């Protein structure tokens, strides 16, 4: 493994720890057990919603596992939803729909962590760690793979931002704070 690959693995561990934080230690252990059973493209595809085989293979080659991928895919949704310090029912439903489309189901560990974030806003360090991880990951992927990952992750975040926009379908679909968060997420991709 290259030296930058080792750095990426360390960043992934920090991202994972931030994702599961101390109060989710039991869930982390369950997910680690699941990781031992599922280290495949299919598991990554389910955790992320990414369908491009080449991107999934690159992620596997970089030793990105299911728990890291779950964090990578869910954090943008949660951050956008909480951008205005309030998560409304439409945003919650959009997050649940995106999680379901990604293969996350009730009872799964990542789903439980996501549910906790639907009631308690995560700490700001989570976003910072996610941004650092994405910046490092970019250096390990081809331009095409970066674009695919960015499109997948940010597309879902935008759908959450648009979920509660406007009154009776009129007006701005995305609040200024949500738009600023989408820009922050996009900037992590360079």
Distance CA 67, CA 46 (A): 11
The residue among 114 and 165 whose pLDDT is bigger is 114
Using 50, 70 and 90 to split pLDDT, how confident is the model at 35? low
Using 50, 70 and 90 to split pLDDT, how confident is the model at 129? confident
0.75 exceeded by pTM: no
Distance CA 72, CA 56 (A): 13
Write the pLDDT tens digit of every residue in 53-84. 788 788 878 877 776 777 778 889 999 999 99
- Cα Rg for the chain, rounded, in angstroms? 16
What is the overall mean pLDDT for the chain? 81
pLDDT of residue 184: 96
pLDDT of residue 37: 43
Distance CA 163, CA 174 (A): 8
Element (H, E) at 119: none
Distance, CA of 63 to chain centre = 17
Write the pLDDT tens digit of every residue in 134-149. 988 888 889 999 998 8
Query: What are 170's strand-pairing partners?
Result: 167
**CA angle at residue 173 from 19 to 183, to 5 degrees?**
45
Nearest to 66 by CA among 78, 49, 81: 49
Which positions ≥6 away from 143 have C-beta within 8 Å?
none
């Amino acid at each position: 493994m290259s030296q930058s690959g080792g750095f990426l693995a360390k960043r992934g561990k920090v991202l994972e720890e931030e994702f599961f934080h101390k109060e989710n230690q039991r869930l982390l252990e369950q997910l680690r057990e699941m990781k031992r059973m599922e280290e495949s493209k299919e598991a990554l595809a389910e955790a992320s919603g990414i369908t491009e085989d080449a991107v999934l293979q690159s992620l596997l080659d970089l030793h990105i596992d299911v728990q890291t991928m779950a964090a990578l895919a869910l954090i943008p949704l949660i951050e956008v939803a909480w951008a205005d310090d309030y998560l409304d029912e439409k945003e919650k439903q959009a997050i649940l729909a995106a999680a379901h489309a990604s293969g996350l189901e009730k009872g799964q560990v990542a789903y439980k962590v996501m549910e906790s974030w639907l009631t308690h806003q995560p700490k700001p360090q989570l976003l910072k760690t996610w941004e650092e991880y994405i910046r490092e990951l970019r250096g390990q992927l081809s331009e095409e793979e970066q674009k695919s990952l960015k499109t997948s992750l940010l597309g879902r975040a935008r759908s959450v931002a648009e979920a509660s926009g406007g009154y009776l379908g009129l007006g701005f679909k995305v609040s200024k704070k949500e738009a600023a968060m989408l820009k922050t997420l996009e900037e992590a991709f360079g």
